[in-house]
Structure 1
């Protein structure tokens, strides 16, 4: 009697094991095995982290094994089980791998294909074609699009984390509970003592040290010591939390009537302002997207205010980016003065604080939330809806959407929802953050997700002009490594552009992203189809880079740059000054966040800057969805390049007071998971 040896690996995460009954059926090209209960008497099968082997006896040879069917049936109560993989040793001694990496819940059956990746047009048997179709039909019922707010990218149709399909939930929801984590952060930072004085102002700037001093690091301490200085203000446009705002200024805009007379004392090259613009030495940061956004009104006892500043910056002879002029609103006028470095100390300081506060809002809501979290969720949902597990692009992308839909759902449940945690400290809470995303979407272009295109569009690509722009330089290196890796994978499975064009599933994936995920907004210019392998390579590079490197660059520096409250105020409690000479130290302190909001802000940036306990970094693929040797070789080459660049970044940062490590590959998580 022929015997097939089946080996089953149970996941090592919490609660992965099960006491339920597990049955298996082997489906071959000739016949099927009987439904077999996998059980060893006096042995506790399917424990967490276990690898168990069983013999399945059949009357005659099954032919080539096409599917493995796994079935879980309740024993005492429903006990979810996480299966990592199954291997089958045939009577002839061959080993066949069946990747699973999913949860079995309730009394349901899962059918697995062997680990070889296949395009839809490569399927030759009826069983294989039906399996692909049924898998997608099932997934499309589970992964439904839903509009959270008009004008937003679409999100998953789930009100709470517990409503998500089990396979995309966090292993432990407790670890990503925002309320719990913020409270824990506030406790760890020892700032509870200030919470009872919620709406009282700090007495002076040094007072902020009372909450800041608990946890320090190299960058945050340096920021505290130098935040008032113009060079530090300018440096953050290059390598701070929001390094995507600075643009080359080709013409001083009419709405920002800065004259040479105003700034001539700050210019170092014996040139006029107009000549400096022509020479490419002038940059601009325009927060027009903030204009008219409704400030937080959830607390009627404390008015909060927003601005939409424009800031002109100058590349000095020492290649520092220095602020030249600041206007706090978009429409010029007598009640909207242009603040200058030559103004009174507190006038100039307050103007810079307003820019930093506006930058904080744009960073949190546009750069971080929209352009990494929400767009990664769109790619993830479309992937689950349109690509079966046997598709090579599914295998490539699945590590890079790990927990993304879950963290976004959790955020909509607790963080950015009405009366959520976001409202407690942020000036754009209470609905302003929703308006901000809706406005930003109007200028959201697919091409700007191409990292080199985004850099070029802002005119900041020159290393000679901006030699210390580490976000750009490191980002380009990581982009090219990711793109090279993706190109290797694409070349393995697509031998021609025609092969890509015939792949109905990948075309459906791209169309789903555009037509449903991005709601067919024409101005976003997302492709509805891909014609060449180069287009596919760029598209998949966007997906991976946005979820990994781009998110790392704009997320994990939040405590570094925002923990010193005056450098990144989450709200402002006084309106913008309407004339010069209005500011003094008392006015500045009354403008900055009060004690309670400072504590909430500090807890938030601390919690959001932490890696997950079980974080997987770029190039780490412990779940072996691919079994083909050429892919494993490509992965190993990718890891070698990443490791070498990590060493380069580490060497560059040695002894630096302001190290830049956010795009060091060993600090870039694979996916948006926090």
Structure 2
């Protein structure tokens, strides 16, 4: 036997057998693509032309390519190098290609590797890896077999590995073990800290594709003033005027006209491991959004024109029933990308045809009823805004020194004709009155919004009554605009009451449309984007910066971060950017995301927990004897009923998991990684709200369980509830218009006469036009879809995510509980007494059913905000 220089490992010809599973980069890695031409077909051609040589050389003759191109060095967890750090073995290369390995995933390749081993090396628990090729590959896993006195060691990697020259320090991976920082084997402490330092970076420089650095920045990349002054946008975050959660830092150059703003680019950096590339079919979906924004929709605008109109309700349904003629050149641009071809349903007749949204699949006119209008407020795509009315008349929280008296002008007399014999005071006392209140969110922006060429809108308040049969009905809608004399004079308001016939019936239908326009915009910008996508990103960044992959809380939360930074980066590039899809198709236009900044001022982290949210809105009261600790004011409230069961399952799972690693509050406070993680998530990630007293201090087990439960809830169930119903409800633009373009007509005016003689035309000339509707539904059809390889709540993408058998067992219990909940939800949807679950449109409430198939299913809770 002899010593190998520099390793301290004795070579006695004993070997450890290993299996390395990886995937080579290939042509489906859409996130690495920049446009190669002015059309989609040109871009696709550029994709294949760019990488065909690489793909061919890598896939063919895999053994010869990889065998001397990828090297690993094992790191011991039990034996040190004399300085307290784990011994590092010698560099060992991949060997034989194993294309027929059982359970090998799609496009995955496996390779043998054999490491020299001696007992003096101890138990390997980490490894360095070097990629000597110019092209990156995706490392899926490494498995070491028959370690003496130990058995198998599994490394779940799921990471892109670039040429070694791209890294200041070699890439390191750890076994799927779990250690609190204080319990980390001494031999691994250096390596654990070193990897976290690598992920944090130094906060300087422009991030490159191969980087894996997580850092914070403000939202200063939505505008593009260098192209046009009209594309300038305020920086969101870092000021009391425009507070905002932080995004991932990219370090791009500043714009010439605004040194505070970052110049947009065709490819927005996110840490490389946040981009799964060809591993996920959802990349087809996300790339579809980018292609729509940059290539297809601008072409379609020339077809429809800016002022295109629907002629009738039947015409609006033509998107789904007859299709729309498209010129041949646009068809040729769509056809190369399968996702666009599927979404647009192009065929030989050159017709653009979308799938019928669920809201009109059974009844074409149910959307017009008051019952369906009210039902969608508690069982639609934005079910968490309604509040119980506690004070009459409704009050405003706007500063009266700036906005004057904004108190509602709705009177008791106007309501009492439809209160089933009750007075307003009796209805209030009996918890029978509710309000959908968008007055304060829209009023400060109405002058700006109504100054836009295509927008004429109101700030709305809607009063609803809980009837004896458990359903809601609207009693009155208040439509308000700023006083023409100035903001300090308050609002000018008009109250519209329910009507079914003639001109008054059409005015009532229009009043409901103004409400839904407010609701659609608030939903997309606040309930969806701000409260899930944007609010989640700081927690993701802080986790990777401060919680090692060996940390139990990292393993708990990581599945709920999958793809979120990726989709958020895409959103900043194509959806919420200046002139982007949201600004084109939603009422506030250039003020869209800016409005969400004002709402963020009142965002409260603990209130994101569903029970706290329901209590805050007056939709539930604390009741220890109730199944979930709260009693619902509206018993048949589908979102709340299903959501409370999902919430409890999540919190129970988190409690079971956390208790495996923390026995006392003291262990929480002494966990250095955990405390640094939380401090930074609050003080840097949500810096503009860092001084709020409601932040949990993370000093107790309960703080930890509650905070992790909220993060998981936001990333899974809350996002599912406000995302996957977008197309089923909003795909029919008449049901969920996103823009209003005219005010209510005055009596005796020409517009009023049109309303009398042609009510459909009057309605259609008021709401979203044809082109804007096409933009909206094209995008929400993509956003409402599930990828084929989506991972749902209660599932993991790798059964070996941890080596802790107790954690595996607790997770199995969680999955079983979710299966029980799914069965209960499906049973409730069959119960005719729960009228709010089905409604006139015959749409069973299914958004919180945990599982789903691929596609547009109107159900399913993915682990994370992945689309």
TM-score by length of 1: 0.91
Instruction: State the shift of 1:211 in Å.
Output: 1.7
- Structure 1 residue 324 and structure 2 residue 475: aligned? yes
After TM superposition, the structure 1 stretch with the greater mean CA deviation from structure 2, 311-320 or 51-60, is 51-60
Aligned position for 1:34? 90
Q: What does 1:44-59 correspond to in 2, within 5 Å?
A: 48-58=107-117
- Structure 1 residue 199 and structure 2 residue 199: aligned? no
Aligned position for 2:806? 630
1:566-591 residue CA offsets vs partner (Å, 9 max, x unmatched): 22111111135577997522432221
1:277-326 residue CA offsets vs partner (Å, 9 max, x unmatched): 122111011112122326888997x4213322111111112221111111
- Contact 1:442–1:524 (Cα < 8 Å) also in 2: no
Instruction: State the shift of 1:630 in Å.
Output: 0.1
| Separation in 1, partners of 2:458, 2:98 | 70
Equivalent of 2:498 in 328, 332, 341: 341
| Separation in 1, partners of 2:139, 2:574 | 27
Q: What does 1:205-224 correspond to in 2, within 5 Å?
A: 205-213=313-321, 214-222=354-362, 224=364
Aligned position for 1:661? 846
| Separation in 1, partners of 2:450, 2:138 | 44
- Structure 1 residue 429 and structure 2 residue 589: aligned? yes
- Contact 2:155–2:173 (Cα < 8 Å) also in 1: yes
Instruction: State the shift of 1:52 in Å.
Output: 2.7
Aligned position for 1:507? 675
1:457-477 residue CA offsets vs partner (Å, 9 max, x unmatched): 111127674232110010000
Aligned position for 1:154? 246
Q: What does 1:53-68 correspond to in 2, within 5 Å?
A: 53-58=112-117, 61-68=120-127
- Structure 1 residue 110 and structure 2 residue 171: aligned? yes
Aligned position for 2:619? 460
Aligned position for 1:236? 376
- Contact 2:581–2:776 (Cα < 8 Å) also in 1: no
After TM superposition, the structure 1 stretch with the greater mean CA deviation from structure 2, 473-482 or 587-596, is 587-596
| Separation in 1, partners of 2:145, 2:637 | 52
Aligned position for 2:721? 553
Secondary structure of 1:626's partner?
Answer: coil
After TM superposition, the structure 1 stretch with the greater mean CA deviation from structure 2, 387-396 or 225-234, is 225-234
Equivalent of 2:437 in 286, 289, 294: 286
After TM superposition, the structure 1 stretch with the greater mean CA deviation from structure 2, 18-27 or 243-252, is 18-27
- Contact 1:293–1:306 (Cα < 8 Å) also in 2: no
| Separation in 2, partners of 1:373, 1:580 | 47
1:67-91 residue CA offsets vs partner (Å, 9 max, x unmatched): 32222112xx323232323324324
- Structure 1 residue 364 and structure 2 residue 515: aligned? no
| Separation in 1, partners of 2:163, 2:718 | 38
Instruction: State the shift of 1:225 in Å.
Output: 1.7
| Separation in 2, partners of 1:434, 1:633 | 43
Instruction: State the shift of 1:122 in Å.
Output: 1.0
After TM superposition, the structure 1 stretch with the greater mean CA deviation from structure 2, 439-448 or 653-662, is 653-662
| Separation in 1, partners of 2:434, 2:75 | 65
Q: What does 1:473-488 correspond to in 2, within 5 Å?
A: 473-488=641-656
Query: What runs of 5+ residues in structure 2 fail to find an aligned partner?
Result: 1-11, 30-57, 81-86, 202-212, 220-235, 238-242, 251-263, 322-353, 396-406, 484-489, 622-630, 832-837, 852-859
Instruction: State the shift of 1:171 in Å.
Output: 1.6
After TM superposition, the structure 1 stretch with the greater mean CA deviation from structure 2, 318-327 or 549-558, is 318-327
- Contact 1:445–1:525 (Cα < 8 Å) also in 2: no
- Contact 1:168–1:405 (Cα < 8 Å) also in 2: yes
| Separation in 1, partners of 2:683, 2:803 | 33
Distance 1:665 1:123, change over 3 A: same
- Structure 1 residue 498 and structure 2 residue 510: aligned? no
Aligned position for 1:373? 533
- Structure 1 residue 3 and structure 2 residue 29: aligned? no
Aligned position for 1:611? 786
| Separation in 1, partners of 2:97, 2:425 | 86
| Separation in 2, partners of 1:93, 1:518 | 44
1:82-118 residue CA offsets vs partner (Å, 9 max, x unmatched): 2323324324462222232212112153222222101
Equivalent of 2:270 in 141, 157, 164: 164
- Contact 1:574–1:591 (Cα < 8 Å) also in 2: yes
Instruction: State the shift of 1:383 in Å.
Output: 0.7
Instruction: State the shift of 1:330 in Å.
Output: 6.8
1:164-215 residue CA offsets vs partner (Å, 9 max, x unmatched): 221111324554125456479999xxx9699424412222333211224342
Higher relative contact order (CA 8 A, sep 6+): 1
CA RMSD of aligned residues (A): 3.1
Aligned position for 2:825? 649
How many residues are matched?
665
- Contact 2:246–2:686 (Cα < 8 Å) also in 1: yes
Query: What runs of 5+ residues in structure 1 fail to find an aligned partner?
Result: none
Secondary structure of 2:680's partner?
Answer: helix
- Contact 1:223–1:564 (Cα < 8 Å) also in 2: no
| Separation in 2, partners of 1:303, 1:61 | 76
After TM superposition, the structure 1 stretch with the greater mean CA deviation from structure 2, 63-72 or 473-482, is 63-72
Distance 1:170 1:223, change over 3 A: farther
| Separation in 2, partners of 1:44, 1:613 | 23
- Structure 1 residue 472 and structure 2 residue 631: aligned? no
- Structure 1 residue 176 and structure 2 residue 316: aligned? no
Instruction: State the shift of 1:249 in Å.
Output: 0.6
| Separation in 1, partners of 2:728, 2:792 | 20
| Separation in 2, partners of 1:669, 1:647 | 18
- Structure 1 residue 139 and structure 2 residue 199: aligned? yes
1:553-576 residue CA offsets vs partner (Å, 9 max, x unmatched): 000001111122122111111135
Distance 1:86 1:571, change over 3 A: same
Instruction: State the shift of 1:51 in Å.
Output: 3.1
Secondary structure of 1:326's partner?
Answer: strand
- Contact 2:25–2:136 (Cα < 8 Å) also in 1: no
Distance 1:305 1:89, change over 3 A: farther
Equivalent of 2:135 in 74, 78, 90: 78
- Contact 1:119–1:503 (Cα < 8 Å) also in 2: yes
1:351-372 residue CA offsets vs partner (Å, 9 max, x unmatched): 1100000000000000000001
Instruction: State the shift of 1:273 in Å.
Output: 1.5
| Separation in 2, partners of 1:9, 1:488 | 32
